[in-house]
A and B are shown apart, each in its own frame.
Chain A
Amino acid sequence: HLVESGGGLAQPGGSLRLSCAASEFTFSRYWMQWVRQAPGKGLVWVSLILSDGTGAVYADSVRGRFTISRDTAKNTFLLQMNSLRAEDTAVYYCVGGTGWLMKSWGQGTLVTVSS
């Protein structure tokens, strides 16, 4: 139900924008989050946006560099990632749910930050 895209290779200091396509039902009702997983490591929460887009929250490690948003016309959630660092290298999962609960996960998209 959730399909991520936009991952790839970026240079340190560069930018990437991730997209998460959702059904109309999911888009209108779910709070959406991004969770990442570095290679061989555990899960780390990144950001969340409310179902109506009126508020967003970020992990300290990405605040000021990443921006989460919604594209209503395309039923798509976005994660704009700027000033990328090597430690941002990870699989990024788009996750939807009611409130803070992580109910439904996308398949993930790999972001690699390297020169």
Chain B
Amino acid sequence: EIVLTQSPGTLSLSPGGRATLSCRASQSVGANYLAWFQQKPGQAPRLLIYDASKRATGIPDRFSGSGSGTDFTLTISRLEPEDFAVFYCQQYASDPLTFGGGTKVES
């Protein structure tokens, strides 16, 4: 099982700031099948990034993903008020599918 560790647990930033979220895998994620999701309170998660660096349909370009192997990063270049939420990374390279524990981005 691939264990995903996200850091930091909480990120305190202001609107307009830059957010850098980390996701580290316990073993290499095949084909970089790594996704990022955003979840706001009371809502279902929403796919932001897939294949480590591809933006999902309708996702603003201030969201970007990078990395390969075991180290991945989600960057939000300029935080908008609606971006504050919990973010999860997830690998879909091998069974069982696994999620990281989440990073809360708060203002």
Contact = CB atoms under 8 A, between A and B. Distances in A.
B56 A103 contact: yes
A105 B92 contact: no
Interface string A22-63: 000000000001000000001111001000000001011000
A66 interface: no
Contacts of B93: 100
B50 A105 contact: no
Contacts of B50: 101, 103
Interface residues of A, number: 20
B92 A103 contact: no
B69 interface: no
Q: Is the interface of A mostly helix, strand, loop or mixed?
A: loop
Q: Is the interface of B mostly helix, strand, loop or mixed?
A: loop
B88 A57 contact: no
A106 interface: yes
Interface residues of B, number: 22
Given A100-B33, A101-B35, A101-B92, A93 B99 contact: no
Nearest to B39: A43
B32 interface: no
Contacts of B44: 93, 105-108
B105 to A, nearest CB: 15
A103 B47 contact: yes
Given A42-B101, A105-B47, A107-B44, 4 more contacts: A44-B99, A102-B92, A105-B46, A106-B44
